[in-house]
Structure 1
Amino acid sequence: MSSGLYLPKRFFSKLRRLGGVVARLVFGIESKPSSGGHFAAQLCHELSNPLSVITAKSSQIQNWAETKQIDPEKLAKAALEMQKMAKRISAILNGLKEIESGTETLSFHSVPLKSVIDETLELCSARFRLAGIQVHVEYPPPGVILECRATQISEVLFNLLNNAFDALADSGSGFAAEGKWVQLSSRVLGGTIELSVTDSGSGIPEKFRERVLEPFFTTKPPGKGLGLGLSISKQLVEAHRGELLLDPSHPNTRFLVRLPLRQVRAHAA
């Protein structure tokens, strides 16, 4: 149906330019990580997902307009999603700049841990569902509050889930094979929250375990990734005075994130 909503042509030309920017960021730097330096590669890795969401939503809006099938409710929902991703990009940029400069200027905020988990799952649940991979979630007890930079912790969880997805998808049994699963769990240990991401894979080979958190280390085929997700996640977790580690004792592939529920300020007496 047509809503009578008019969108000027310049709106779509800006969307097309945005698509070009996305392509250069996501694929240009990825193919030649050394040319842009470590920071540029980190930037590419972390921005690829929100920029892809913005591009997909903008293409959807353009299609609605060209076919005169603009539904104001759907349009508002798509626009809201694009705004959320734009805010996420801003937060990611600020976080990466802070890591690169070695300064600590961003504030920590008290947020419900469940909301951080839900925000992360919203970004990747469709991908798992389409691939036939089951995602199981064990939420923290009701009311658990984490003092953190929520977007950064969401990025950590997203990177771990994304790695689990890639490992299962590349395991040779096909995307929709039975029995593939990922579990995101959380538990409170005194003043610490422990988050774990486990997949149904058989674990990381011993010869790779010491290097798995290093920048640019990857066991993926060429063109499948830069090997930055885990190293960036490690930096983000350590900026929260926590730790990210591989659990070698688990029979499956399992990563642990341990974070203090409350941050101790460096300037505190």
Structure 2
Amino acid sequence: MVSHTITGQNEGEEVPVIDLSLLGNGHDSESMYAQVRKACEEWGCFVVVNHGVKEDIIHQMDSSTRDAFALPKETRQRNIFQRRNVSHIADLPAMPFYESFGVPGAPDPDAIQKFSDQLWPQGNPQICKIIEQYTSAVEQLTINIITVISKSFGITEYYESQFWDLLRLNYYDIPPNKTGGVSPHADHDFIKAWSNGRVWNGIHRVIMEECKPPRVSLPYFYYFSDEVVINAPPELVDENHPRLYKPFKPPEFRAFYGDISYKRYQKSETFLSDTAPPFIDMFALITTE
């Protein structure tokens, strides 16, 4: 159980809680849009309740994730982390006792099968079924959230075809008297540039001591497609909000931050840092001289 009363940057603040069951309920949904916009501008995150993802599917996905990490290490590392291949991440000094698998393209059955074949060459139809059920549900939730965010800022057009999916299976196995997790970072989904700086892209981290059983988390990312030009919609640019970022395509940005990030993750002191480079501002912020 995760508490919704999470302390904010200032004493007494809590992460906003958004009830998605209000979507489409007239006055209540308008109030929800206002709450979402405020959360995006001031926090860059919010807790969602009544999200529609069934509890049994979540539990099955958790159990299947643990099965994957129970495989022998040599099996898990068939697709080890490299600069241009982040399907499997492990043994990074900046992320002690953290290991992760990626399933790019889920819930597409072919993408899920490709992931499964890497770990279970003999076949594992059960885990394929569970991943497809889970990611189908979470993809719909993601679409709902993006739609709500867009409407909260008055965006009139939204195209689902602009995005691609990535499920990440995270596993934290912290031994006694040790501390581990993930170093400070901001997720690289470009939404800060897309929103013309209106959405806060918060720096976050994972840090914990011994955890038994190991902790599992299942972040689901919805990235802009490579061919999309990241450029703020006209609704978000006016005389009070001049354009802050130059247009760019995702591969250009990934090439910029990829090598810098890789070098940071090879340093153990990165885990203890309290900051992370403002990559999007470094790359695309329009400056006047």
Normalised-by-shorter TM-score class: under 0.3
TM-score calculated relative to the size of structure 2: 0.25
Judging by fraction of residues, say which structure has more helix: 1
TM-score calculated relative to the size of structure 1: 0.26
Q: Which has the higher contact order (CA 8 A, sep 6+)?
A: 2
